[in-house]
Amino acid sequence: MGTTVGETYLKRLFVFYIPLFMFVAAMLFPFYWMLITSIKPDQELYNVRNVPFIVRNATSQHWVYLFKETLFARWALNTLWIATASTALSLFAGVLAGYALSRLRFPGSTAGGIAIFVTYLVPPTLLFIPLADVVSELHLLDTSWALILTYPTILVPFSTWLLMGYFKTIPRELEECARIDGATRLQAMVKIILPLGMPGILSAGIFSFTLSWNEFLYALVFISSPTSKTISVGVVSELIKGDVFFWGALMAGALFGSVPVAIVYSFFVENYVAGMTGAVKG
């Protein structure tokens, strides 16, 4: 019996715990590297003889430089505003489109759902040129609205596809019972479908917020003034000057820019997984 227990423990150790530890270590290593790089003094940072994985004399000079010598705080506020607004617009459109394509029967609903998802597969590198003309005609260049109104071109197709799949997993009988009791289509959607579809909505929201927060190409093309930049563009453009890289401040900015997304995922990871699973099943 003891041998059997020992064999079971060893099997779990090599099959589950060790691979899990290696996976977690690989996922957390970039954050660890950014942290130690951001608190190393320049003398230690550029000394190749030092062990790169430890910090001998920690310093906050790179963080002080990031917040005092650059507009990082302004970039963070710009990024938060743009990501929140574009996510709200995308969720509003995605919920309505996903509900209509999954619950209503009308000619072309299936083809429309496929067309929306195919739109998501179009690379942003092909869209930013015509979008630049549109943004210029609307006189929105170098404003946050240039990004708020263009990000949904990427976010809405995926959100719609995900919510279509999740709404299909909700039994139609629940909505039909509400309609029999006198509820309108809108009331049934708001009081029945949306509460039950909250995991899918949160999944779409997390995806939209993450993509908006980290997006680089549109922010680089449509925004030029330093006060209007986002974190992803501001850190790269202001802390890389020619062939000079301010590695300490760069890693501090990258770490600070990664924390909000990690926090969002940590709070809603269960709903995110449930929403993605329901969308795939649908």
Q: Using H for helix, E for strand and C for coil, what is the string for the chain?
A: CHHHHHHHHHHHHHHHHHHHHHHHHHHHHHHHHHHHHHCCCHHHHCCCCCCCCCCCCCCCHHHHHHHHCCCHHHHHHHHHHHHHHHHHHHHHHHHHHHHHHHHCCCCCHHHHHHHHHHHHCCCHHHHHHHHHHHHHHCCCCCCHHHHHHHCHHHHHHHHHHHHHHHHHCCCHHHHHHHHHCCCCHHHHHHHHHHHHCHHHHHHHHHHHHHHHHHCCHHHHHHCCCHHHCCHHHHHHHHHEECCEECHHHHHHHHHHHHHHHHHHHHHHHHHHHHHHHHHHHC
The pTM for the full model equals 0.84
pLDDT 10s per residue in the chain (282 long)?
445 766 777 888 888 888 889 998 998 898 899 999 999 998 888 887 888 888 888 889 999 999 998 999 999 999 999 999 999 999 999 999 888 888 887 777 777 777 877 777 788 778 888 888 889 898 998 899 999 999 998 899 888 888 888 888 888 888 888 888 888 888 888 888 888 888 888 888 888 998 899 899 899 989 989 899 999 999 988 888 878 888 999 999 999 888 877 777 777 666 555 545 544 455
